[in-house]
Each structure stands twice: as C-alpha cells, then as structure tokens.
Amino acid sequence: MSSSIPAIPAGSTRGSQGGSMTMGELLELPPAVSVATAAQALGIGKDKAYALIKADRFPARVIRLGATTRVATASLWDALGVKG
C-alpha cells in the first residue's frame, strides 16, 4: 500500500465537487464499491486507479468478479486512515 495518500480529517468538508468525498460519504459506502467510487474517495482519476490496479499497486484490496472489479470498502478506509 502507498503511504502517500493523505488521511481525511474527521471534520473534512471536501465534497464530490472537489473530486473526493466527505467523511460522511465515506462512512456510508457499501461493503464493496466500484473502481470509480474508490478513485473519487482517493482523490484520483478512474484511469489512474485502473493503472494502479493493473500494476498491482492500488492502495486498497481489489476484488475481481469475472469482468467486474470492485474495491473492498474496509481496506479503502484503512488506506485513507478512516475509522469506520
């Protein structure tokens, strides 16, 4: 996992418009999310997220279900320093 991803402070007000999520949005995520949603949470683009997955360097646990790729929310929280 990369250590360069900043933790989101508990009082963060960054919203979807800024390319990342608020703490409330993060805590409301289902157990597994799309790569696009995980990328938004990390504040990176979807293409960058897929490139990291392909290089086996994505900072959260990736779940491959046939042609579908999901990201485990609990490991996404860990990568962001979020306590769920």
Q: What 3-state DSSP class applies to 71? A: strand
pLDDT class for 20, splitting at 50, 70, 90? confident
CB of 76 closer than 8 Å to CB of 33: yes
pLDDT score recorded for residue 70: 98
The number of beta carbons lying within 10 Å of the beta carbon of residue 81 is 11
Instruction: Inform me whether the pLDDT recorded for 26 exceeds 90.
Output: yes
* 42: region left, alpha or beta (phi > 0 left; psi from -120 to 50 alpha): alpha
Question: Tokens 């157990």 sit at which residue?
Answer: 31
pLDDT score recorded for residue 6: 44
Mean pLDDT, rounded, for 21-27: 93
Gap between the Cα atoms of 1 and 23, Å rounded: 21
pLDDT class for 66, splitting at 50, 70, 90? very high
